[in-house]
Structure 1
Amino acid sequence: MSPLACSLLVLTALLAAAEAVMPQPDCTSAKLGEVTGDVTTFSVDVGGGAVRIPDKCTRPGRKQVGVKIEACLSPESKLKIMPVLLTPSDISPNFSLFKIAVDKIVVSVEQYGEMVTAP
């Protein structure tokens, strides 16, 4: 086999191995309400903490009946750990309070809606 062919074969093997060990993003999901009916799908980027998901499903004649969300750390996301200061005058370290934050979480949202029936 020629040196060029050997090099290409080795490069192909290395690329395949690199793709095989690529870490998958850490994800978790949750469902609330009914996950049936018409679906509206979108995603939002958040930084963690309390997150308000906009209602893109409800409009005249329709109401939201459920939601399914999946939150994943983005591939370029980094966790940050910072000590929490109770007051601006705190000078001694508090070894029990920390804030753990993440740069970017990608939240994939499926909102389920159905027609509102007349009384």
Structure 2
Amino acid sequence: MVASESFAEFLREQLAPLGGITMRRMFGKTGVFCDGVMFGMVTENTLYLRVDDESKEAFKEAEAYPPLNYAKGGGTIDLSFWRIPERLFDEPEEFVAWARSALAAAHRVAAIRERAAPRRKARRKAD
């Protein structure tokens, strides 16, 4: 389920200090982007933020909740998006700090993927 319009607007307001916040429906959920980089996902008005090996320590409190996941082949696939604690909605500065950490993780993941992606060879025109 995608984010409700009121929840999406709340997130845009709260996350504005990060930069240009946009949201896009994807895979039956809502992707949360900052300047084109996806650092969060919303499902059922629950926000999940991107984590990586470097940021997991900062998100220790979030380990109490299951990560965003989906069913596949009779099993469950966990994604690298962890649910934020509800208390952060009442602590805007800490909420933004968590979001900054998630955005940094998203940039690191994007850089790794870019380096790992096969380079496309330019096609030459026939002379």
TM-score, L = length of structure 1? 0.21
With CA pairs under 8 Å and 6+ residues apart, which has the higher RCO, 1 or 2?
Answer: 1
Identify, as 1 or 2, the structure richer in helix.
2
Identify, as 1 or 2, the structure richer in strand.
1
